Amino acid sequence: MAINRERMKFTKLLNVYTLFFLGIMVAILPSCKKDDVNSGLEDPRIFKPGRLSIQTTRTSAKITWQAPLLSAGQQLTYTTEFSPDSTFASKEFAKETDTTGVTVTDADLAVRTKYYVRIKANAFGDQPESKWLVSSGFSISGEQLFLPLRDLELKENSVVLRWTVNPELTAISLTPKAGNTTSIPISAQELISGVKTVTGILADTTYTAELFSAKKSRGYLTFKTPPVSIYTTVLNPGDDLASAISAAANNAIIGLNPGVYNTSNSGFTLLQKTVTLKSTSGNPSDTRVNFKEFTLKGTGAGINISGIEFDGKAAASLYFINLGGASSDAELVTFTQVTMENCIIHDVATSLMRADRGTAGGDYKMNQIVIRNTLIYDVAASSNYLFLHLNELEFKVLNVTKSTFNNIGRGMLTCSTVLTSTPPVITFDYCTLNNFGANNMNVLISAGANPVKFNMTNSIIANVPRPSGTVNDLAVGATAAESFTVFSNNNTFNFNNAAGVPLKFPATNITQIGNQSVNLNWTATTTNFTLPQGSVLRTVSSAGTAIGDPRWSY
């Protein structure tokens, strides 16, 4: 019994010491772990780089990262690996650095190719290498020596390619969609002029063109050739254009051979049909129509014009396009569309397009209005109407691109009658606008409570208001809660109210970035809007190219 008591006493004492020892270990171990972390940097997770950032330009990518935790004072080096594969099953190349960043260029990376980069801290002393830090995909677009295409130089079976002159250029590759690439040499004369005419290409086909110095890409363009024009009828100067339009069936395409077409004081009426007028040459400089007015009447009416100069002076034109009902202007009418491309339009007294003859807003409807690569001047120069007077037209899209507007009245656009449809999308992109604004109007758009999505981008706007005119302090008048304005990558100068104070924009629901205020010294009488060589405005578009109508950047 005594032995058993001693054994029980020993067991209790052993348990007490065991518990005491375990308590000490529990207390010591966390502090030991903390001390190990602080002194040795032996945990690879702490040694891993962080906060990776990639900034790209056309020709380079700068990759930076945060140094590993607690690495201050350590002479660390890093390995960066690049791959077009996010799993890095294959690696194109690697770079080592003793800084927290590397820069790679188009000499390292293929342009327009998605890459991934991963970074690790290399082993240092008794510290093992870190785990990889992997980026998301990125790419560089490459140098751009190609100049924008001129629409009139893109034809069914040919295209004129232009570029910034560079003596190192050697060839152009041309690739049709789902086709084989053709290499086209650049002659010595073409190298000097910076112009190459490519013939024998396919109509209605998407191509990519790439400019090379040896194997290095120096420019890249994508374009689509127009489809072959199948004319319903082809006219010559002296033919009766008004009668041809009146007799034309719906969706007829009337071709005009080069020359001058005089229509005296008669207008053109398109009654419940859509007609296309197109020059056979594609060049508005050799095909002119002296007109009075195009009147679109009734549901189904619309017009497409292409490659023609329209001169309203001889007939004292009041409107270029006028909308109405088939038998009464009070009718409910659904028009098709209005398209103006590659044209020259001038000398119209009242408005380029009038759509306010209905009884109420929305009585007139239209799918889209397109103005592209068109020069328009002396329209509504002293009128109380706006250039585009669309107060009672419910339209879905107004798309205006690569066009010039000079001396065009008291404001660009009014569409202020409240409509019930989805807000229309209104876009002015790569346009040049000069000398307009009067009668205290919102010079860019007067939408009132009508909700609109208004985008003015990559454009130059100058000399507002016109001489002796007054304009509203707000350039954009759009008060509906659903309205939104984008005004970005534009240049404005002499863009003021009557007191000389720069015009304002809505305080809310607006994006404004990349805007400039370079004075180009244009006046109300300027007609040549060519950008000076070396001007910053040749590089500040959203694509890194010239802003304004591209015709003035060559």
Q: How many helices (H) and strands (E) does the chain have?
A: 3, 42
Task: Indicate whether this model's pTM tops 0.85.
Answer: no
Contacts (Cβ under 8 Å, ≥6 apart) of 408: 352, 376, 377, 379, 380, 381, 387, 433, 435, 436
The closest alpha carbon to 394, from 356, 442, 428, 429, belongs to: 356
pLDDT by residue, tens only, the chain of 554 residues = 444 444 454 445 445 444 444 444 444 444 433 333 333 444 445 578 989 999 998 899 999 999 887 777 778 899 999 999 999 999 889 999 999 999 999 889 999 999 999 999 998 877 889 999 999 999 998 888 998 888 889 999 999 999 999 999 999 999 999 899 999 999 999 999 999 999 999 999 999 999 999 988 999 999 999 999 999 999 999 999 999 999 999 999 999 999 999 887 779 999 999 999 999 999 999 999 999 999 999 999 999 999 999 999 999 999 999 999 999 999 999 999 999 999 999 999 999 999 999 888 889 999 999 999 999 999 988 777 899 999 999 999 999 999 999 999 999 999 988 776 689 999 999 999 999 999 999 999 999 999 999 999 999 999 999 998 999 999 999 999 999 999 999 999 999 998 889 999 999 999 999 999 999 999 999 999 999 999 999 999 998 889 999 999 98
The structural domains of the chain, with segments of one domain joined by +, span 1-40, 50-134, 151-224, 231-349, 388-554
Instruction: Put residue 42 in one of left, alpha, beta given phi > 0 → left and psi -120 to 50 → alpha.
Output: alpha
User: What is the identity of the amino acid at 481?
Assistant: A
Tokens of 151: 């629409």
> Cβ contacts of residue 530 below 8 Å, gap of 6+?
552, 553
Strands 50-56 and 60-66: antiparallel
CATH class of 50-134: mainly beta
Report helix, strand or coil for 43.
coil
Name the token pair of 269.
Answer: 């009426």
15-33 CB burial, b ≥16 within 10 A, e <16: eeeeeeeeeeeeeeeeeee
How far apart CA 69 and CA 104 sit, in angstroms, is 26
At CA 459, angle to CA 458 and CA 463, rounded to 5? 155
CA distances from 503 to 421, 462, 540 (A): 30, 12, 21
Please check whether residue 108 is in contact with residue 93, taking contact to mean a CB–CB distance below 8 angstroms: yes
Q: What residues have CB less than 8 Å from 407, skipping those under 6 apart? A: 377, 378, 379, 381, 434, 435, 436, 466, 524
Whether 450 and 422 have beta carbons less than 8 Å apart is answered as no
Which residues, in sequence order, are bridge partners of residue 183? Answer: 173
Do the domains 151-224 and 50-134 match in fold? yes
Pick the CATH number of 151-224 from 2.60.40.10, 1.10.3720.10, 1.20.120.550, 3.40.50.300: 2.60.40.10
